Structure 1
Amino acid sequence: MFSDDQLTQNAFLGGRLTLFQPRDGYRAGVDPVLLASVVPARAGQSVLELGCGAGAAILSLLTRVAGMQGHGVELQPDYADLARRNAALNELPLDVTCADLSTLPNALRQQRFHHVIANPPYYRSGAHSQARDMGRSVALGGDTPLATWVEVAARRLLPKGYLHIIQRTDRLPELITACEGRLGALEVLPLTARPGRAPDLVILRARKEGKSPFRLHAPQILHQGDRHTADVESYVAEIRSVLRDGAALKWPDAR
């Protein structure tokens, strides 16, 4: 368990959410907040996050949408404990199970959720420079295949439930292949830093028992201007509203 001197306390969503994070371990950036912002959740629904870490994504969602019930699964005991601590700090309804997502305990395997979200490691194990901190190393490059993340998510979803997953663009083919026979109505929202640049990340939306055809949306641009010119915040208005006001990011051509 992290000691107090190993942690920092950081404000998210313009101060609506406060998170303890390891000073030297894995620290959440904007990606989990963006992931949470596109989930079409409403009060009374439930959400499961696979690999919840310290809770940045799921607690952002529970902050934005009051009246939901959250459950997180986290492999690393120190981070699972930190997610519980962050939920208590913010008085948010989150239960956390410390387990490998491929071997979930029976009690959790009996549950189904309206939404599943995930921010899996962006690199295949061994495909990135090894981080000195073990927590950060696991977060960047895990041993569990993306297909397993999708399979577990599909099993935990209620009929018509949604999966949202954020991942590097070059791993999108793996995600699409993993959804075959499990999830349908696939939609992809690319995320690009600036106009004219290739997207580095994508958010995949998929639905249990979905039948609609595949849709590839125009990229969501994160920053104003075609290049970074000064050490100041340059987010476009809709992204700034997500990060600072806890707003939802409108899914393009919502149906």
Structure 2
Amino acid sequence: MKVSEPDLSIIETASEDIFLGDALMVRQPRNGYRAGTDAVLLAAWINPEAAGKGPVLDVGSGVGVVGLCVAARCPNARVLLVEREPDLAVLARHNVERNGLEMRVSVVEADIARSSDALFRSGIASETFPIVLANPPYHEEGRSTAAPSPLKAAAHQMAPDALDTWARFMNRMALPGGRVAMIHKAEALPRILSVFEGRFGGINILPIYARAGAPAIRVIVSGIKGSRAPMSIKPALVLHGPEQAFLPEIEAVFRHGAALPARFGG
């Protein structure tokens, strides 16, 4: 069966957005899923020294914002973006080239829930990555109104049991002793802990708050493959001050590409 060529016109119709001050120019679908705060925070979880120890895997990368932010922040980092949707993979490749990162960032189009032949053909083996990152869709199918755009729906929704698939793939690709991290809605914490159980130890939970005194909106849950270390909870990461502006240490992350302060990061 002949494989259809990707629709390159998506590049021309996409918007161009700036990340990390003006360090990254990223094209994203105008009406589809749009990466933003969460992707930057997850990328900032890694400090440059850790990112330089081996390749970083961005699972379900979309247009590549998490992995590109890692590469832009960490000059010694090598990054692999894995994305299922052909249109998003096209944009991810364009974004890699647009930012001059072809020597350190590559894109593989593959479905993590199915055969990983595309990974094998690219010479990518299991247990290869010391760091594996994931920013999965936040909504379960059937529990929210599906987006009118199929691409947007695919990026926003996942099957109820799909989080286990993501954790299984992250475990498979991480080196023994490798570190994984996932950002998600705070309400998903019990499910994340459930799918991490038996796969990762040394679990760290970083709760993220829009402002002090409000409920947590996100969590970054990290773990170590094969570890038996106990779970711990990081100090609260608060994004905004009383005037709604980013707090200075968060401003440094979003505008200047800083890593999260050590008390929060990986």
TM-score, normalised with respect to structure 1: 0.92
Consecutive unaligned residues in structure 2, runs of 5 or more: 1-6
Amino acid paired to 1:43: G
> In the alignment, does 2:194 pair up with 1:177?
yes
CA RMSD of aligned residues (A): 1.8
SS in 1 for 2:220: strand
SS in 2 for 1:88: helix
State, as a whole percentage, how many aligned pairs show the same letter.
33
Match of 2:20 in 1: 13
Match of 2:76 in 1: 67
CA deviation profile, 1:201-255 (whole Å, cap 9, x unmatched): 1000111122321011232101111x75xxxxx1111111100000000242779
| Separation of aligned partners in 2, 1:138 and 1:122 | 11
> Following superposition of structure 1 onto structure 2, how do residues 21-40 of structure 1 map, counting pairs within 5 Å?
21-40=28-47
Amino acid paired to 2:149: D
Q: Is the 8 A contact 1:6 1:24 kept in 2?
A: no
| Separation of aligned partners in 2, 1:55 and 1:124 | 22
Match of 1:129 in 2: 145
Match of 1:235 in 2: 246
CA deviation profile, 1:52-102 (whole Å, cap 9, x unmatched): 000000100011111222111111000011111101111212221112112
SS in 2 for 1:11: strand
Q: CA shift at 1:136, angstroms?
A: 1.5
- Identify which of 239, 245, 249 aligns with 2:256: 245
Distance 1:87 1:111, change over 3 A: farther
| Separation of aligned partners in 1, 2:216 and 2:87 | 33
Amino acid paired to 1:11: I
Q: Is the 8 A contact 1:46 1:69 kept in 2?
A: yes
Displacement over 3 Å in runs of 4+: 108-111
CA deviation profile, 1:128-156 (whole Å, cap 9, x unmatched): 22112222111111236111111110110
| Separation of aligned partners in 1, 2:17 and 2:264 | 34
Match of 1:206 in 2: 223
TM-score, normalised with respect to structure 2: 0.88
Consecutive unaligned residues in structure 1, runs of 5 or more: 229-233
| Separation of aligned partners in 2, 1:209 and 1:95 | 27
Q: Is the 8 A contact 2:24 2:99 kept in 1?
A: yes
| Separation of aligned partners in 2, 1:116 and 1:205 | 10
Q: CA shift at 1:112, angstroms?
A: 1.0
> Following superposition of structure 1 onto structure 2, how do residues 84-123 of structure 1 map, counting pairs within 5 Å?
84-92=93-101, 93-103=104-114, 104-105=116-117, 107=120, 108-110=124-126, 112-123=128-139
Match of 1:224 in 2: 241
CA deviation profile, 1:140-191 (whole Å, cap 9, x unmatched): 1123611111111011011221101001111111111111111110000011
SS in 2 for 1:205: strand
Match of 1:231 in 2: none
Match of 2:180 in 1: 163
Q: CA shift at 1:24, angstroms?
A: 1.6
Amino acid paired to 2:193: I
CA deviation profile, 1:89-134 (whole Å, cap 9, x unmatched): 1121222111211222251344510110000011111222211222
Amino acid paired to 2:60: G
Q: How many residues align?
A: 249
